[in-house]
Structure 1
Amino acid sequence: MLNIRSSKMATLGQLLPTGSGAVLNSRTLLPSPFPSLTTTRVKMSIPATQASIVLPENRIILGCGSVGVDFLAAVASYPNPDDKIRSTSFQVQGGGNTGNALTCAARLGLTPRVISKVSNDSQGKGILEELEADGVDSSFIVVSDGGNSPFTYIIVDNQTKTRTCIHTPGYPPMIPTDLSQSNLFSSLDGAKLVYFDGRLHETAAVVAEEANRRGIPILIDAERKREGLDHLLSFASYVVCSTKFPQEWTEASSIPSALLSMLLRLPKVKFVIVTLGEDGCLMLQRTEMDNLDPEERDVDDLFEKLNQKKDTNATSPACISSNVAKLHAKGIGTISGKLLVGTAESIPQTELVDTTGAGDAFIGAVLYSICANMPPEKMLPFAAQVAAIKCRALGARAGLPHYTDPRLTPFLV
């Protein structure tokens, strides 16, 4: 195997999975396919100027996890068994949770590096080219001789706005010995933050242990239970979860109680966020014991009170925060912290195209927010805005905004 470097390659718009029967012409480059209770609401009328945007001083982050190729076919409605239908549109883009989140972070102004593995096939070459084009350092990606790079078929239902994914893992899989000690050390040098999507768990464990030894904060994407995830979570400073994960992992009766249980079980974690799709997100932040509300608050009751504060007529993302208090979950325990409810943008149905990768976009924005020392009250609406912008285009990356996008200026100036 060799550690990457490629020169001129075909764009992803030309690539099809091995065995598809397509003929590739590597000399013909196609155009890129992706040219008290308080409420915080960001005013969206602030004028945008690139010069006024101040990027974080330390912008280097490292991600370890999946990269791949997504083959996206939009259809009028999802087919029944034995149906033969036509797509209404088709795109080929880079994919994989880590690849998507780091691409988002790069467009927001960070300097990401990525540890992963691809094959030296046409898909692998395209994966590397696209990451580099977006400013993601791919020099720590391992390229194997033979095998196949990861790819996913994604069917987007135009009627229900849902997507169905059929994933083919890369082969051979990445193992810890693929990553030399010198590359491990170099990848972490100067890093402000390390991100894991829960895949490549054996290699991820090695990277997490070294990051922990150096005192570099770690963010974990807890999408679902995976082999090795519990070990990774033991190093976490921050956790972002899918909707179902907190209750599946803790067996708590409600999401707020599950978040509290996670903070009790993971003493290093500063905050945990659960994304809730069109219902926004919920964050539980651990805080110091000073200036506590003297009364112990039931975390489920507090969640309901915060929800009642939502402005149902608002279209832009907002954050409703509790005061710092002793938060209690029956049968679980008590922590010092505050609960924050983040709302999602209300996207007109005519503008909603595809939710593929919305969670990755959210995480990319959270990575930026941590590097920029954004307070949670600003972080949650910002991440929701980035995810909403992404949903206006097909695929995980085509709609990802750059930091100069005027829709983001209120959060960045």
Structure 2
Amino acid sequence: MNQPPKVVVIGSLNMDLVVKARRAPKRGETVMGDEIHFIPGGKGANQAVGLARLGAEISMIGAVGSDSFGRELKRALKKTGVNITGVKEHDSQATGVASILLAEGDNSIVVVPGANALCLPEDLEDNERMIAEADLVLLQLEIPLATVEYGIQLAKKHGKIVMLNPAPAQSLSQELLSQVDYLTPNRSELALLAGMPEESSVAQGINRLLDTGVTCCVTTLGAEGAAFMEKEGSITKILGHQVPVVDTTGAGDAFNAGLAYALAQQKSIREAAEFAVEVSALAVTKFGAQGGMPRLREVEEHFTLGQYSERGDI
């Protein structure tokens, strides 16, 4: 039996305060909500749970406050099978919180980082052995950029695959981007990183990022699927799947978990992207970012051969 892939996730842990309403309020308006839920979240934790559900061996490096939210987030990760020895508790900051409004089939999110701001480079030094033993290191941008940079440096030092989900969107240096093996922006993040208008083609944005030194750029396209391109390669689009949508909150995190899982198993980028699109499609059929993450068995039972097409006009 093949050994499960080992992945280290360096990132955020938040408690998601999810409000469901019939519609989003206009500026200055108050509307009545239908439901509120307190759900473990944070891009880093979501992706760690997604990977664990798929069967990967996961270690998480991050930070929470010494409060009830922090304790609940750690319990949720541990219950899923994530190694949480790299998650520190801090008295000086409350656990990060994300306020999420679900309305009209979409979501809008406000994140208060809290203790995530205390996930520092020295925490990575304390857990360097985890990184040295991993197949792939996955990072996002809800923790300090200095920590992301140092995490990438340590991963490269130990010859690991580096995957960066550049969310929330912010400008990144060419020095950082040149060390990334797989960059996974959505359309708006792609435009910001490439320094181009959002109406520019995905192909133009990906080409510009490849020029910075990124080895491969994989752009998520929502319900349309995803597109990827490697250096010296042609752009390929992976078609999305039609599914009943319940909650889109964790779709991007599910995609990144699926992609990281397949890449850590040394699958080709096309195979990995096809698998990631399938994982994210199943994730939106359930409520909650972490609760919606599918298990490997569910993906294998629901999908047969992934759909893809090569096009030059994306």
TM-score range, shorter chain: 0.7 to 0.9
Counterpart-to-counterpart distance in 2, 1:225 and 1:83: 28
How far does the alpha carbon of each residue in 1:204-251 deviate from its partner, in whole angstroms, 9 at most, with x for none?
A: 222221211111110011235436665532321111111122232223
- How many residues of Structure 1 are paired with residues of Structure 2 in the alignment? 300
Q: Would you say 1:65 and 2:8 are equivalent positions? A: no
The equivalent position to 2:224 in structure 1, one of 258, 279, 284, is: 279
Counterpart-to-counterpart distance in 2, 1:154 and 1:95: 11
Q: Would you say 1:339 and 2:235 are equivalent positions? A: yes
Counterpart-to-counterpart distance in 2, 1:362 and 1:243: 14
The equivalent position to 2:285 in structure 1, one of 392, 395, 403, is: 392
Counterpart-to-counterpart distance in 2, 1:229 and 1:195: 18
Alignment partner of 2:235: what SS? Answer: strand
Partner of 1:85: 32
Following TM superposition, by how much is the alpha carbon of 1:92 offset from its aligned partner in structure 2, in angstroms?
A: 1.9
TM-score (norm 2): 0.88
The equivalent position to 1:249 in structure 2, one of 193, 209, 212, is: 193
Cα 1:70–1:226 shift into 2, 3 Å: same
Cα 1:257–1:172 shift into 2, 3 Å: closer
Partner of 2:212: 265
Q: Do 1:65 and 1:200's aligned partners in 2 also have CA atoms closer than 8 Å?
A: no
Partner of 1:191: 134
Q: RCO (CA 8 Å, sep 6+): is it higher in 1 or 2?
A: 1
After superposition, residues 229-378 of structure 1 pair within 5 angstroms as 230-252=174-196, 253-266=200-213, 269-286=214-231, 336-347=232-243, 351-378=244-271
Following TM superposition, by how much is the alpha carbon of 1:172 offset from its aligned partner in structure 2, in angstroms?
A: 7.6
Choose between structure 1 and 2: higher helix proportion: 2
Partner of 2:310: none
Partner of 1:152: 98
How many percent identity over aligned positions? Answer: 20
Q: Do 2:121 and 2:151's aligned partners in 1 also have CA atoms closer than 8 Å?
A: no
Following TM superposition, by how much is the alpha carbon of 1:264 offset from its aligned partner in structure 2, in angstroms?
A: 1.8
Counterpart-to-counterpart distance in 1, 2:173 and 2:40: 24
Cα 1:94–1:230 shift into 2, 3 Å: farther
The equivalent position to 2:155 in structure 1, one of 186, 200, 211, is: 211
* Aligned-partner residue type, residue 383 of structure 1: A
Unaligned runs of 5+ in 1: 1-53, 287-335
Counterpart-to-counterpart distance in 2, 1:235 and 1:172: 23
Alignment partner of 1:141: what SS? Answer: strand
Counterpart-to-counterpart distance in 2, 1:377 and 1:399: 24
Counterpart-to-counterpart distance in 1, 2:176 and 2:285: 33
Counterpart-to-counterpart distance in 2, 1:148 and 1:82: 29
Following TM superposition, by how much is the alpha carbon of 1:409 offset from its aligned partner in structure 2, in angstroms?
A: 6.6
Counterpart-to-counterpart distance in 1, 2:121 and 2:163: 23
Partner of 2:48: 102
Partner of 1:404: 297
TM-score (norm 1): 0.68
Q: Which moved more, 1:197-206 or 1:142-151?
A: 197-206
How far does the alpha carbon of each residue in 1:62-103 deviate from its partner, in whole angstroms, 9 at most, with x for none?
A: 11111111111211222343424131x332221111111111
Alignment partner of 1:206: what SS? Answer: helix
Counterpart-to-counterpart distance in 2, 1:225 and 1:195: 16
Looking at CA atoms only, which structure, 1 or 2, has the larger radius of gyration? 1
How far does the alpha carbon of each residue in 1:332-354 deviate from its partner, in whole angstroms, 9 at most, with x for none?
A: xxxx212211111112xxx3111
Q: Do 2:132 and 2:155's aligned partners in 1 also have CA atoms closer than 8 Å?
A: no
How far does the alpha carbon of each residue in 1:145-187 deviate from its partner, in whole angstroms, 9 at most, with x for none?
A: 2420001111101xx2011212222148215365163x23222
Q: CA RMSD in A?
A: 2.2
Following TM superposition, by how much is the alpha carbon of 1:60 offset from its aligned partner in structure 2, in angstroms?
A: 1.1
Following TM superposition, by how much is the alpha carbon of 1:376 offset from its aligned partner in structure 2, in angstroms?
A: 3.1
Cα 1:121–1:385 shift into 2, 3 Å: same
Cα 1:147–1:245 shift into 2, 3 Å: closer
* Aligned-partner residue type, residue 251 of structure 1: G
After superposition, residues 130-149 of structure 1 pair within 5 angstroms as 130-149=76-95
Partner of 1:128: 74
* Aligned-partner residue type, residue 194 of structure 1: V
Counterpart-to-counterpart distance in 2, 1:155 and 1:164: 5
Q: Which moved more, 1:373-382 or 1:189-198?
A: 373-382
